[in-house]
A and B are shown apart, each in its own frame.
Chain A
Amino acid sequence: MTTPAIADPRTRYSRRKATRGNYELYSWVFMRASGAILIILIFGHLFVNLMVGKGVHAIDFAFVGGKWSNPVWQIWDLLMLWLAMIHGTNGVRTVINDYAQRDLLRLWLKILLYAATIVVVTLGTLVIFTFEPCHAGADPSTVASFCQAR
């Protein structure tokens, strides 16, 4: 008969990790939360840019100048940029995991994906905040009408 091993009374209880963290859970929650917000942001974006007035024909440099001189649209676009890019990147990550079976290929596709995301999100953020609606030396007919007053 063997005696059952009894833990030493002084050893501390340590919880063993069953998984490698909760990353996939958070990502699942994020897809749903960001999706719910994105529907408002994107439908608003498309309505203002495609449905109002002359729609796509009204879009030019001066149109963007008008929108981004309003902080509401700056914040709107910033949120849309970050949420859509992270949601989309995480979605494409899932697709890569599903179809790219070779380890090395999967690794490289994801490196490419994350690199593209970082470049595009950084660029988009800089563009929103460094944009000059009254571009120096620009032909006055190409900039917003409020630039004439200066």
Chain B
Amino acid sequence: MPSAPTGTLYRGREGMWSWVAHRVTGVLIFFFLLVHILDTALVRVSPEAYNAVIGTYKTPIMGLGEAGLVAAIVFHAFNGIRIILVDFLAKGPRYQRVMLWVVVGLFVVTMAGFLPRHLGNVFGDH
């Protein structure tokens, strides 16, 4: 593979890194989903079996994992909308970089709404 000495229009810049992040988060969510459907299937075994496994979701370490998962979903979702807009809007490609910063802004706002609530549930007394 030839190496580009400096960034081209796309390579090594926001467009490329958002693509990398979109790909990594997509694959991550997919593997979570496989496990998640298997653990939900335990409701067909017995209440005890389901409660035992879902109980592990409530530990602090898993709580942090859930925060990471939600972060991955929120980025993938907002950036997915950005990809759709880049493809369908006439001026989409011209504003792809601006739209990435809008995605980052929305991501920060969403996580600021989610994290205190979720971490309060995970680490607070209940």
Contact = CB atoms under 8 A, between A and B. Distances in A.
Interface of A: 32, 35-36, 38-39, 42-43, 46, 50-51, 54-57, 59-62, 64, 81, 84-85, 88-89, 91-92, 95, 116, 120, 123-124, 126-127, 130-131, 135, 138-139, 142-143
Q: How large is the interface on B (under 10, 10 to 19, 20 to 34, 35 or more residues)?
A: 35 or more
A116 B37 CA distance: 12
Contacts of A57: 58, 121, 126
Nearest to B74: A43
B43 A127 contact: yes
A35 to B, nearest CB: 4
Main secondary structure, interface of B, reads helix
Given A88-B29, A91-B30, A61 B70 contact: no
B46 A138 contact: yes
B103 to A, nearest CB: 12
Contacts of A61: 43, 47, 50-51
28 contacts: A32-B84, A32-B87, A35-B77, A35-B80, A43-B77, A50-B66, A50-B70, A50-B114, A50-B121, A51-B114, A54-B126, A55-B121, A55-B122, A56-B63, A60-B51, A61-B47, A64-B40, A64-B43, A84-B33, A88-B26, A89-B30, A92-B27, A95-B26, A123-B37, A126-B44, A135-B46, A142-B47, A142-B51
B90 interface: no
A143 B43 CA distance: 11
Contacts of B44: 126-127, 130-131
A43 B81 CA distance: 14
B36 to A, nearest CB: 9
Contacts of A64: 40, 43, 50
A127 B41 contact: yes
B60 to A, nearest CB: 11
Given A61-B51, A143-B47, 17 more contacts: A35-B80, A39-B81, A51-B114, A55-B117, A61-B50, A64-B43, A84-B33, A85-B33, A91-B26, A91-B27, A123-B37, A123-B38, A123-B41, A124-B40, A131-B44, A139-B47, A139-B48
Contacts of B41: 123-124, 127
Contact of B47 (A85, A89, A123, A135): A135
Contacts of A51: 114, 117-118
